[in-house]
Amino acid sequence: MSQVPLLSVENLAFDRDDSCLFSGVNFSVADGDLLQIEGANGSGKTTLLRLLTGSLQPSAGDIFYLGQSISKCRYGYLSDMLYIGHQPAVKLNLSAEENLRWMVASSAQSNSLSVQDALTQVGLAGYTDMPCYALSAGQHRRVALARLLISEARLWYLDEPFTSIDKQGVIFLQSCLQQHVAKGGAVILSTHQDLALSGLRKYKLLPSVESFT
């Protein structure tokens, strides 16, 4: 291998309550890659993404960022990563603008795009001052996705990003992902939708065979 991949996963396994959720997961992601994780409900897509963020510990195998184990370069890795989970982390009592402002402030790297502009781009112009409990589920997701526009992180992990977003939103998000990989970033996402994205690779998460306990 001549070039060190941005992220590589080697022989990853995860056990939950003494039963193996998945094992032997191997893939690597280079700059400009778009990887879709597929699998049935409960096959461990969210768990895999959470393992990648480092908030869960794998029971076997390791994750390498630029050739280094992520436990050894935590700060550098986490600064270069953006994770948007199943729950959009939107506070209902805060307005869209306030929500986005703290999300940006508490995450690592950001570009010069203003919070207002980002919200306008995700189609929330005119809703920025309203408390989020007055907004719909799809709009909550849009608030969280506005972080993508501000973030400078190269690795994006998106857990079901298309949930409750309308058709235009799906098209917008896809173009956003396309732009990100064109700039040299990488995206790993889990979704059940068929995406019309060029260069999309798929990784199928298979239920593990009970070989040992």
Partner 1 sequence: MASQAARKMDSGFAAWLRRDLLLAYRRSGEVASPVIFFIMVSTLIPLGLTPEAAQLEKVAAGMIWVMALLATLLSMDGLFTSDYQDGSLEQMLITPQLLPLPLLGKITAHWLTTGLPLTLVSPLLGLMLSLPSVGYLPLVCSLALGTVCLSLVGAVGAALTVSLRKGGLLLSLLVMPFYMPVIIFGTATVSYAVDGLNWLPPLAILGAMFAASVALCPLAAAGALRVTASN
| Residues near partner 1, by CB under 8 A | 50, 53-57, 74-75, 78-79, 81, 83, 85-94, 98, 102-103, 105-108, 131
Q: What is the DSSP letter of 209?
A: P
In the complex with partner 1, which residue's Cβ is closer, 5 or 88?
88
Residues ≥6 apart with Cβ < 8 Å to 101? 115
Question: CA 204, 84, 105: angle at the middle one, nearest 5?
Answer: 155
CB of 79 to partner 1, least distance (A): 4
Residues ≥6 apart with Cβ < 8 Å to 20? 13, 14, 208, 210, 213
In the complex with partner 1, which residue's Cβ is closer, 88 or 200?
88
CB of 197 to partner 1, least distance (A): 25
In the complex with partner 1, which residue's Cβ is closer, 39 or 131?
131
In the complex with partner 1, which residue's Cβ is closer, 93 or 211?
93
At residue 26, φ and ψ (nearest 5 deg) are -135, 125
CB of 202 to partner 1, least distance (A): 25
Do 43 and 191 form a contact (C-beta atoms < 8 A)?
A: no
In the complex with partner 1, which residue's Cβ is closer, 185 or 200?
185
CB of 57 to partner 1, least distance (A): 6
CB of 145 to partner 1, least distance (A): 14
Instruction: Express the helix, strand and coil content of the chain in percent, nearest 5 each.
Output: 30, 25, 40
Strands 186-190 and 200-204: unpaired
At residue 7, φ and ψ (nearest 5 deg) are -140, 135
